[in-house]
């Protein structure tokens, strides 16, 4: 995250507090009866945004950028009695969605005594309602300890998920109609951008609603999040798929194993999987431009590898090679995201054509494990991470934080304003040791030219 922090000032990391806006009297946290004072965190406790020595220099304002530390506060903004909370999961599935929902509900219900908790179905679509009858298109679910008791044993989201356009005014109208005081939005960069608009709309209307984002991205492409839930689980599945592709390729004459792995804009999952296993030959990611033809192009390197080794395995991020489709008209999904072209199918066909044009037999196996990765239940490490992520989201909301996301930096949970999250996407830094390790594993060139 070094490059992303360069030139960032402290103001961008200032977290909004409902205490300051509405001048409410502090209330003692219900947790005071359960835990000792040493576990409570002050707003003055902070985590440096960048810990590298070359960037530990004061900015022009004389302040080093830092995040507010997440955790329970001694004083809370909301009274637990009659408090209403809502949870929504948006975008594609990821391992751990149910774990996060379970953690949020359990912490609200058991630790803070909040008994009115709703689950909003099918992402932001669940806020749609008739302005006259007040009927919602999809009934909201009532959540409690019993309803979430064993959902961590299931993949997917019990709330349902989905991609759709979002109208902040409609969402805030729905929140007011349901008397919601806290909204937890679980999703990726598009979801969090939507959460920021909801926060701005509620602020515009001077409504004391806490909007808390929880980052969900297997691609790990959200700013200020060094680790995302579900990543470890998805990584294990990606490695398993690559090992299967290796077995297929080794067993065939001129065998090629091609595996397409999730990663629209960020190749972290693909690169991490590639660096984690032995005998991989190529790893293709969005951050490195892909050129197929020419003396230094990918196809010539692939032919040379086959002639030398007899088989090869390729890890392909789904967002790689999109410049190869520059002549095609772009298409967009319901959330407004640009749809990716099918680089896997395209590359498969080009490899076969190229081999045949050079009088080489080609036995190619194309594996796409994406939906298997998304729908898995979590490994133990991810389960714990989800639990702590959900708990810190609840602590933030109850203390009156709003317009922020629970981030994770330097192995510490943080509060990050949504406006800072929406600045840009995060990409794999090809100058980092991880990419060097991936290159070392494959022996491929740094760039295709």
Active site amino acids: 219
State whether the Cα torsion 377-382-387-391 is positive or negative: negative
Query: Rounded to an integer, what distance in angstroms lies between the CA atom of residue 238 and that of residue 249?
Result: 16
Q: Which two tokens stand for residue 286?
A: 């969005």
Report which of 106, 275, 130, 248 is spatially closest to residue 259, judged by C-alpha positions.
248
Phi/psi for 234 (5° steps) reads -65, -35
Cα angle 388-404-139, degrees, rounded to a multiple of 5: 80
Q: Which two tokens stand for residue 202?
A: 């509620």
Own/partner contacts of 126-131, CB < 8 Å, gap of 24 or more, are 126/88, 126/159, 126/160, 127/88, 127/166, 127/170, 127/171, 127/174, 127/175, 128/170, 128/174, 129/170, 129/173, 129/174, 129/177, 131/173
Q: How far is CA 388 from the centre of its chain?
A: 16
Q: How far is CA 122 from the centre of its chain?
A: 18
Q: How far is CA 11 from the centre of its chain?
A: 24
C-beta of residue 434 within 8 angstroms of C-beta of residue 275:
yes
End-to-end CA, the chain: 27
C-beta of residue 295 within 8 angstroms of C-beta of residue 247:
no
C-beta of residue 15 within 8 angstroms of C-beta of residue 397:
no
Q: Which two tokens stand for residue 270?
A: 């693909």
């Amino acid at each position: 995250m070094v490059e992303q922090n360069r030139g960032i000032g402290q103001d961008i990391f200032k977290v909004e507090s409902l205490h300051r806006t509405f001048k409410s009297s502090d209330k003692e946290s219900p947790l005071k009866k359960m835990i000792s004072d040493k576990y409570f965190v002050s707003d003055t406790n902070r985590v440096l945004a960048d810990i590298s020595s070359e960037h530990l220099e004061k900015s022009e304002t004389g302040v080093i950028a830092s995040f507010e530390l997440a955790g329970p506060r001694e004083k809370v903004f909301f009274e637990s009695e009659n408090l209403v909370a809502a949870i929504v999961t948006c975008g594609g599935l990821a391992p751990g969605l149910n774990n996060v929902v379970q953690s949020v509900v359990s912490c609200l219900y058991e630790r803070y005594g909040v008994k009115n908790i709703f689950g909003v179905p099918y992402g932001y679509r669940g806020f749609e309602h008739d302005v006259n009858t007040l009927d919602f298109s999809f009934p909201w679910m009532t959540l409690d300890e019993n309803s979430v008791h064993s959902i961590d044993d299931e993949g997917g989201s019990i709330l349902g998920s989905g991609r759709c356009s979002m109208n902040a005014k409609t969402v805030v109208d729905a929140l007011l109609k349901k008397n919601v005081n806290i909204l937890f939005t679980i999703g990726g960069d598009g979801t969090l951008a939507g959460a920021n608009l909801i926060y701005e709309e509620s602020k515009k209307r001077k409504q004391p609603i806490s909007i808390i984002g929880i980052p969900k991205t297997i691609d790990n492409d959200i700013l200020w999040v060094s680790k995302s839930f579900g990543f470890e689980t998805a990584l294990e599945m990606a490695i398993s798929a690559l090992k299967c592709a290796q077995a297929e390729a080794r067993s065939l004459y001129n065998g090629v194993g091609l595996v397409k792995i999730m990663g629209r804009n960020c190749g972290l999952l693909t690169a991490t999987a590639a660096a984690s296993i032995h005998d991989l030959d190529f790893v293709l990611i969005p951050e490195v431009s892909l050129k197929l033809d020419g003396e230094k192009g990918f196809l010539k390197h692939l032919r040379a590898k086959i002639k030398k080794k007899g088989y090869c395995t390729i890890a392909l991020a789904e967002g790689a090679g999109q410049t190869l489709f520059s002549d095609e008209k772009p298409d967009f999904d319901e959330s407004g995201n640009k749809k990716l072209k099918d680089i896997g199918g395209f590359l498969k066909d080009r490899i076969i054509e190229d081999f045949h044009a050079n009088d080489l037999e080609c036995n190619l196996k194309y594996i796409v494990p994406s939906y298997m990765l998304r729908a898995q239940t979590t490994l133990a490490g991810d389960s714990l991470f989800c639990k702590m992520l959900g708990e810190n989201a609840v602590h933030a909301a109850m203390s009156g934080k709003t317009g922020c996301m629970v981030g994770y930096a330097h192995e510490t949970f943080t509060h990050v304003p949504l406006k800072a999250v929406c600045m840009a996407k995060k990409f794999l830094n090809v100058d980092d040791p991880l990419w060097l390790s991936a290159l070392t594993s494959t022996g491929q060139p740094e760039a295709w030219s």
